Structure 1
Amino acid sequence: MPNLPSPSACESVVAVAHPAEERPAEPTVSVVIACYTEARWAGITAAVRSALEQDRRPLEVVVAVDHAPALLDRVRRAFPEVRVVPNTTSRGASGTRNAGARAARGDVVAFLDDDTRAARTWLTNLVRGLEETPGAVGVGGRVEADWPGGVVPRWFPPEFLWVVGASYEGMPTGRSEVRNVWSESMAVWREDFARVGGFRDGFGKLGAASSPEDTEFCIRAAAVTGRSWLYVPEAEIVHDVPAARASWSYFVRRCHSEGRGKAAMAALDQGSALGEERGHVLGAIPRGVWRDLRRFLRGDGWGLARAATAGVGLLAAASGYAVGRTGAVRAGA
């Protein structure tokens, strides 16, 4: 069995979990934004403002700050209408989001990241999907990449847009039941979040290191509650892509890091949950490679670059997975 975190991690959020049929008719929503550095101040400001300007007004916006006292004070001064709380547990995205959820008072907790901006209808569509799907533990929305200068690099294969935290080619185009959604655009019933124990403390993004804490949380939440996740593409946000992440070298590093992160997740006895990744590797990516090769033969010189980049990305992810699995085996030994 997986080594699941104790529900006490979020026990202050709610005392008991109620059946889905007892959900409130008009649920209130707390929007939680996690942040950790003043270097992202412009992004934090944009994320907070987009949450405050939703067509469906949230009950509150909670900004959780990860062990950064100066940033904590700055957010409090800049946004007196926002609740600001510190993460006093383990550093990282998981602990910081959990701190925000513990402080939240809404029936639903919706998460944004500090480098995202939500469309005005984002919250309306997320909560509508949750209300209209009693069998859903939570929902997630579509993420558009905001590239430097608004231009997608011509060498970049769209099947790999997950590298920059955006919805990628191969994802559903309409509402669909999915294994997981992303924490940068996620809404979940607060009582279920508490019941599951929140994000796994100590597992996830910390500085340059990254593990798929949102995927791990979604898999665990579905297992504990017996309910599924819903992808709601009409709930849209924009994810900033800084210039440093629009490079080929970052693409390779991020693929390798993703492979290592999935190995770490598999080491939590969830290796059988990697079917989505295998399906993408065996389905959408080969289709994309053939598409770009055909375009190359029709005169699109960048088609060959995209096909080659996809191959390099697969190799980098596979090498990262191998390194991660080796490390996990040694740690277990």
Structure 2
Amino acid sequence: MSTAPTGRTGAPSVSVVICVYTEDRWGDILAAVASVRDQSYPALETLLVVDHNPALLRRLAKAYGDDAWDTSQVPEAMEEGAEPHRIRVLANAGRRGLSAGRNTGIAASSGEVVAFLDDDAVAERDWLLHFAEGYADPRVMAVGGRTQPVWASRRRPAWFPEEFDWIVGCTYRGLPPGKVAVRNVLGGNASFRRSALEAVGGFASGIGRDGHRLPLGGEETELCIRLTRALPDAVLLIDDRSVIHHRVPEVRERFRYFGTRAYAEGLSKALVASSVGARAGLESERRYTTRVLPAGVARGVRDALLGRPGGAGRAGAIVAGVFAAAGGYALGSLRARRGGGRFAVAALGPATELPACEGAEV
């Protein structure tokens, strides 16, 4: 039986959107859906949005389909009149990429709150409960959580600095602990009020990952900055009790990926800055580069002097990551000035207005 968020009798309904794109993650996708199904605070529905992959769409439709209902909810919840958890399979109705996929999920969802979970992550049992608690305050428009890496090699590479865990989509050293207000939440473990998403038109297209280009990011940063500009009283939170475990494949444990992803992040930040201005787009990054990273280098050098494994590698990786990101930012800024960094914000309408190919119709 679900527990109502502390201090609120009318707990918000939550839709969970999981964007998927490859059959290579089939087992991960099933595990992600199962972790949503097992939440202590039940989701209203899970929407699997398939990014232009007909084979995966058909396979998921067969596995779940539009008539897939989770009947495993406890009897008490059913006696209270709660509908069972519905699993829906949709096709991305927009251009290829994560932003359009998320917008498809938002428009097709029904919950007062829309939560996002990566397709290669599993959520802890109270993930949605702590999200829901955050919305007891009507000023709160977004709540994010903590993402922990699950390394394919079973342990963190000795050279890989925690300050750069964002490289693999995880919470990094330097973020404040506890339940705190932030500039932006991290997209793979986040939730938003539907009204806030509708107010800003959803995620921008032309930024973030699309499955073909460099591993870009930044779409949630850009969205959150637009959100707080449109709603000046909005509060955005991270609650580190809302935990997910994100799988890190072996290829992402390599330094080559580290450098490529850092470079791509620089490109992304340039796109964000061109949209919302450098002051807002880089506010958090300035503190990160002037305080968090120098402290990380100092720790690495100290560990190296004390003979601890990986210290020199971590210090070197931080320096290399900064230079790679700076190079990407410089090139991205140049492209933006020449008009190559434009992207658009799609207006979100009611779910019925956004065509989506659901599983039963495949």
Per-residue deviation, residues 104-155 of structure 1 (Å, max 9, x unmatched): 1111111111111101110111111222x33211100000011113200000
Among 22, 36, 39, the residue aligned to 1:54: 39
Name which of structure 1's ranges 170-179 and 204-213 shifts more when overlaid on structure 2.
204-213
Could you tell me how far apart the structure 2 residues matched to 1:211 and 1:291 are? 28
Tell me if the contact between 2:158 and 2:309 (Cα under 8 Å) persists in the aligned partners: no
1:239 match: 246
Residue 178 of structure 1: how far off its partner (Å) = 0.2
Q: Would the alpha carbon gap of residues 284 and 130 (structure 1) be closer, same or farther in structure 2, given more than 3 Å must change?
A: same
Residue 223 of structure 1: how far off its partner (Å) = 1.2
Could you tell me how far apart the structure 2 residues matched to 1:252 and 1:99 are? 32
1:11 match: none
Among 198, 217, 222, the residue aligned to 1:211: 217
Give the alignment's Cα RMSD to 1 decimal. Answer: 1.6
1:125 match: 130
1:265 match: 272
1:315 match: 323
Structure 2 residue 229 is matched with structure 1 residue 223: yes
Could you tell me how far apart the structure 2 residues matched to 1:76 and 1:43 are? 16
Structure 1, unmatched stretches of 5+, are 1-22
* Number of residue equivalences: 310
Residue 43 of structure 1: how far off its partner (Å) = 1.6
Structure 2 residue 97 is matched with structure 1 residue 89: no
Could you tell me how far apart the structure 1 residues matched to 2:51 and 2:295 are? 41
Residue 320 of structure 1: how far off its partner (Å) = 0.8
Residue 171 of structure 1: how far off its partner (Å) = 0.6
Q: Would the alpha carbon gap of residues 83 and 332 (structure 1) be closer, same or farther in structure 2, given more than 3 Å must change?
A: closer
Classify the secondary structure of the residue corresponding to 1:114: coil
Residue 309 of structure 1: how far off its partner (Å) = 1.0
- Equivalences for residues 283-322 of structure 1 within 5 A: 283-322=291-330
Residue 225 of structure 1: how far off its partner (Å) = 1.6
Could you tell me how far apart the structure 1 residues matched to 2:199 and 2:100 are? 16
Residue 24 of structure 1: how far off its partner (Å) = 8.1
Q: Would the alpha carbon gap of residues 114 and 163 (structure 1) be closer, same or farther in structure 2, given more than 3 Å must change?
A: same
Could you tell me how far apart the structure 2 residues matched to 1:332 and 1:92 are? 18
1:277 match: 285
Among 176, 187, 205, the residue aligned to 1:201: 205
Among 6, 10, 14, the residue aligned to 1:29: 14
Looking at secondary structure, tell me which structure has more helix per residue: 1
Could you tell me how far apart the structure 2 residues matched to 1:24 and 1:33 are? 28
2:109 match: 104
Could you tell me how far apart the structure 2 residues matched to 1:230 and 1:189 are? 12
Runs of 4+ in 1 over 6 A off after TM superposition: none
Could you tell me how far apart the structure 1 residues matched to 2:319 and 2:191 are? 34
Tell me if the contact between 1:95 and 1:199 (Cα under 8 Å) persists in the aligned partners: yes
Name which of structure 1's ranges 31-40 and 238-247 shifts more when overlaid on structure 2.
31-40
Classify the secondary structure of the residue corresponding to 2:15: strand
Structure 2, unmatched stretches of 5+, are 1-7, 70-86, 342-362
Counting aligned pairs with the same residue, the percent is 42
Structure 2 residue identity aligned to 1:228: V
Residue 332 of structure 1: how far off its partner (Å) = 6.5
Classify the secondary structure of the residue corresponding to 1:295: helix
Residue 168 of structure 1: how far off its partner (Å) = 0.7
Per-residue deviation, residues 34-53 of structure 1 (Å, max 9, x unmatched): 11121221221111111111
Per-residue deviation, residues 276-329 of structure 1 (Å, max 9, x unmatched): 011100011101111111121112142111111111111111111111111112
2:359 match: none
Classify the secondary structure of the residue corresponding to 1:139: strand
Could you tell me how far apart the structure 1 residues matched to 2:97 and 2:266 are? 19
Tell me if the contact between 1:127 and 1:187 (Cα under 8 Å) persists in the aligned partners: no
Classify the secondary structure of the residue corresponding to 1:150: coil
Name which of structure 1's ranges 34-43 and 53-62 shifts more when overlaid on structure 2.
34-43
Among 60, 66, 88, the residue aligned to 2:51: 66
Could you tell me how far apart the structure 2 residues matched to 1:195 and 1:268 are? 17
